[in-house]
A = this chain, B = another copy of it.
Amino acid sequence: MTPNWDDMRVFLAVAREESLSAAGRQLKIDPATVGRRIARLEASLEAPLFTKSQQGYLLTAPGERLMEHGLKAEEAMRAAVGAMAGTSKTLSGQIRIGAPDGSANYLLPQVCAKISDANPDLDIQILALPRVINLSRREADMAVTVSAPTAGSLLVQKITDYKLHLVATRDYLTSYPAIRTIQDLSGHRMIGYIPDMIFDRELDYLVDIGVDRVALASNSVSVQLRQATLGTGVCVAHDFTLPFHPNLQKILTDQVSLTRSFHLVRHQGDQRNERLNRFAQALSQGIREEVERLEAQVSP
């Protein structure tokens, strides 16, 4: 019998989450229903799609083959929904943004709050991960990145430049030897990324500055800034984060001033998706304005 196309939507969620419960949460339906929908799909296709256990639902070989086609169906359905968006005043549904946690923590909350105010029926999800978001696998609808990706069928647009400077607390600076030159840094504790976990070359600030040892490291910008705010060392901070940490001040600004850029990266298949286009436009403009507003609050 003809499979129910909507069962394919459920199938994709289970394939991704590898769990009836998790898929049920994502789809907002009962796990019992998810299980029944999978059973119905398997019956109509006469093929076992998962190996089943309480530890998880894992795709079989036929299930893998089905998933390939299911992803195409999903893309078409997304585009279909997107094509309808132009007819509505406000956006609805759910959109997920991937972002490095610097922008995820310090920019996106404000930007997305405004977008949400203007589009009450839209659910926005900020995926803050210290790694490259895989848009091909649809981990998110779009991603804010620092480096512009060059490979894959992706759309990339530059959003804005932003500045970074070395920072430390005033207490730290008065308690430790003066920092007048870059060479003086070698006598200080540096805070930064975990070197072998840096997932974007453009985030490797300290190498640019000439620092080769990081005593306090984290893969999370907010953790790094919290450590700096405690007065435990010197780190590189985005200017737009400084209004949130008034006890941090810039140092060596005449010698070290870094500039990076945010890019918005999207799946090429979404190019004509009006719904995502509208959201992307609002997001880019929001980020641009927020960076400008926050950097204006930081003394030169």
Contact = CB atoms under 8 A, between A and B. Distances in A.
A87 interface: yes
A254 interface: no
Interface string A78-117: 0111011001100011100000000000000000000000
Contacts of A2: 9, 93-94
Contacts of A69: 76-77, 79-80, 83
Given A3-B81, A8-B80, A46-B84, 9 more contacts: A1-B93, A3-B77, A4-B6, A5-B5, A5-B73, A46-B92, A65-B84, A66-B80, A73-B80
20 contacts: A1-B92, A2-B93, A5-B5, A5-B77, A6-B6, A8-B80, A45-B81, A46-B87, A46-B88, A47-B88, A62-B87, A69-B79, A69-B80, A69-B83, A70-B76, A70-B80, A72-B72, A72-B75, A73-B73, A75-B76
A196 interface: no
A68 interface: yes
A5 to B, nearest CB: 4
A40 B261 CA distance: 44
A215 B8 CA distance: 57
A84 B76 CA distance: 20
The number of times this chain is found in the oligomer is 2
Interface in A1-56: 1-9, 45-47
User: Which applies to chain A's interface (DSSP): helix, strand, loop or mixed?
Assistant: helix
Contacts of A7: 6
A66 B158 CA distance: 31
Contacts of A73: 5, 73, 76-77, 80
Nearest to A72: B76
Given A76-B76, A77-B5, A68 B83 contact: yes
Nearest to A71: B76
Contacts of A8: 5, 77, 80
Nearest to A67: B80
A58 to B, nearest CB: 17
For A3, A7, A83, A93, the residue with the greatest tally of chain B CB atoms inside 10 Å of its CB is A83
A4 B29 CA distance: 13
Contacts of A72: 72, 75-76, 79
A5 B6 contact: yes
A93 B44 CA distance: 10
A16 to B, nearest CB: 15
The winner among A45, A75, A94 for most chain B CB atoms within 10 A is: A45
6 smallest A-B Cβ distances: which pairs? A69-B80, A72-B76, A73-B76, A5-B5, A6-B6, A5-B6
A84 to B, nearest CB: 4
